[in-house]
A and B are shown apart, each in its own frame.
Chain A
């Protein structure tokens, strides 16, 4: 079991470009959560998804951010028209039904 896989590990984007972050949950896990960690801050919940459904997106910024977890393939966090303030580490966690979270190693996004 390879654990929660996130890629890329590091992503550099210019202002205005799109960033796509991928998360492959652990085998058998049907729940995916995305968190954002700003420098020197704790992790902030963004969105909770099950296959083909967004369950809770209360932590997602209203504009430019979207997430999906298709029937096949990884979960994708998409940030359109990135700005410098989007620079952060983005972590994905997955869980089975009992909601014991396992985190991936994160994607570090730098907007230049």
Chain B
């Protein structure tokens, strides 16, 4: 059974810092991994999707990496801004016919001005 863990649970940084959020998963046989952002009381916004054959994806100040063999993914945020404050969720999909996208509990990020 796939288990997804995110560390740290909460992170507070001053504006301008580069930071890394971590996601680990127990079963390396994944179809893809996706990072989402969730603002308080809101839904999920997809940030980056990495297919199992890929090593990383980049979008603006965000870079996500995937190391399937070690069961790890990182989300790197460069030059953090107060607007980046949110909960970041990592989700793993187990197979093309697997409809069970497993989510981590999230990292709650606060960027202080």
Inter-chain contact A102/B46, CB cutoff 8 Å? yes
- Chain A contributes a number of interface residues (CB within 8 A of B) equal to 25
Please determine whether A59 and B46 come into contact, CB atoms closer than 8 angstroms.
no
A6-59 contacts to B (CB < 8 Å): 6, 33, 35, 40-45, 48, 55-56, 58-59
Asked if A33 and B99 make an inter-chain contact with CB atoms under 8 angstroms apart, the answer reads yes
Given known pairs A56-B100, A58-B100, the reply for A40 and B46 (CB within 8 Å) is no
Instruction: Give every chain A residue within 8 A of B104 (Cβ-Cβ).
Output: 42
Complex contact A104–B100 (CB within 8 A): no
Considering the complex, give the chain B residue whose CB is closest to the CB of A3: B43
The answer to whether B49 and A100 have CB atoms under 8 Å apart is: yes
The interface bits of chain A over 84-109 (1 if a CB of B lies within 8 angstroms of the residue's CB, else 0) are: 00000001010000001111111010
Q: How large is the interface on B (under 10, 10 to 19, 20 to 34, 35 or more residues)?
A: 20 to 34
Contacts of A45 in B (CB 8 A): 99-102
B42 located at the interface, meaning its Cβ lies under 8 Å from any Cβ of chain A in the complex? yes
Q: Is the CB of A42 within 8 A of B46?
A: no
Does B11 have its Cβ within 8 Å of any Cβ on chain A? no
State A91–B49 Cα separation when bound (angstroms): 19
Take A42-B89, A91-B43 as given contacts and tell me if A101 and B101 are in contact as well, using a CB distance cutoff of 8 Å: yes
Q: B76-113 CB contact bits vs A (8 Å, 1 = yes)?
A: 00000000000001010000000111111110000000
Q: Is the CB of B99 within 8 A of A91?
A: no
B4 — which chain A residues lie within 8 A by C-beta? Answer: 42
Bound-state CA distance A48–B100 (Å) is 9
Q: What residue in chain A is nearest B9 (Cβ atoms)?
A: A40
Q: Chain A residues near B34 (CB, 8 Å)?
A: 101
A-B contacts besides A33-B99, A102-B46, A106-B42, 15 pairs, CB < 8 Å = A33-B101, A42-B102, A42-B104, A43-B89, A43-B91, A43-B103, A45-B99, A58-B100, A59-B100, A100-B46, A100-B49, A101-B46, A101-B101, A105-B43, A108-B41
Residues of A within 8 A of B (CB): 4, 6, 33, 35, 40-45, 48, 55-56, 58-59, 91, 93, 100-106, 108
